[in-house]
Amino acid sequence: MSGWGQCWPSERESESETFVQTGFCEPGSSYQTESSWVCACNNAVSRAREAEHDRDPLLFQTEGTKLGVHRLRSTCALTGATDSFLKVWDVEGCNCLRTLKGHEGSITCVAVDWVACCAVSGASDGTLKMWDLDKNSCIASYTGHTAAVACVAVDWSEHRALSGSNDTTLRLWDLTSTKTVSRMCGHRQPVWCVSCDWKAEKAISGSGDRTLVLWDLRKAESLRVLEGHESGISCVAVAWDSWRALSGSGDKTLRLWWDLSSDACVETLRGHGSMVLSVSVDWCSHRGISGAGDGTIRLWDLDRGECTAVLGEQSLGAARCLFADWTAQRVCVGSSQGVWRLWDLEQAVCIKSLKGHDGAVRCVSMDCVSEHCVDP
Confidence label for 67 from pLDDT (cuts 50, 70 and 90): low
Confidence label for 258 from pLDDT (cuts 50, 70 and 90): confident
**What's residue 93's pLDDT?**
87
Distance CA 70, CA 35 (A): 31
**What's residue 90's pLDDT?**
92
**Residue 37 DSSP symbol:** H
**What's residue 68's pLDDT?**
46
Distance CA 162, CA 171 (A): 6
Domain ranges for the chain? 34-371
Task: State the DSSP string of 345-362.
Answer: TTTTEEEEEEE--SS-EE
Residue 142 C-beta-side C-alpha neighbours within 13 Å = 30
Distance CA 3, CA 7 (A): 9
Helices (H) and strands (E) in the chain, counts: 2, 28
Specify the higher pLDDT residue, 24 or 114: 114
Looking at the domain covering 34-371, what would its CATH class be? mainly beta
Residue 146 CA to chain centroid, in angstroms?
Answer: 20
Distance CA 90, CA 77 (A): 7
Model confidence, pTM: 0.81
Q: Are 223 and 215 in contact (CB under 8 A)?
A: yes
Q: What is the arithmetic mean of pLDDT over 258-281? A: 91
Residue 3 has pLDDT above 70, yes or no: no
Confidence label for 283 from pLDDT (cuts 50, 70 and 90): very high
Task: State the DSSP string of 261-301.
Answer: TS----EEE---SS-EEEEEEETTTTEEEEEETTSEEEEEE
When mean pLDDT is compared across 20-29, 50-59, 248-257, 348-357, the lowest value belongs to: 20-29
Sequence-distant (6+) residues with CB within 8 A of 36 are: 30
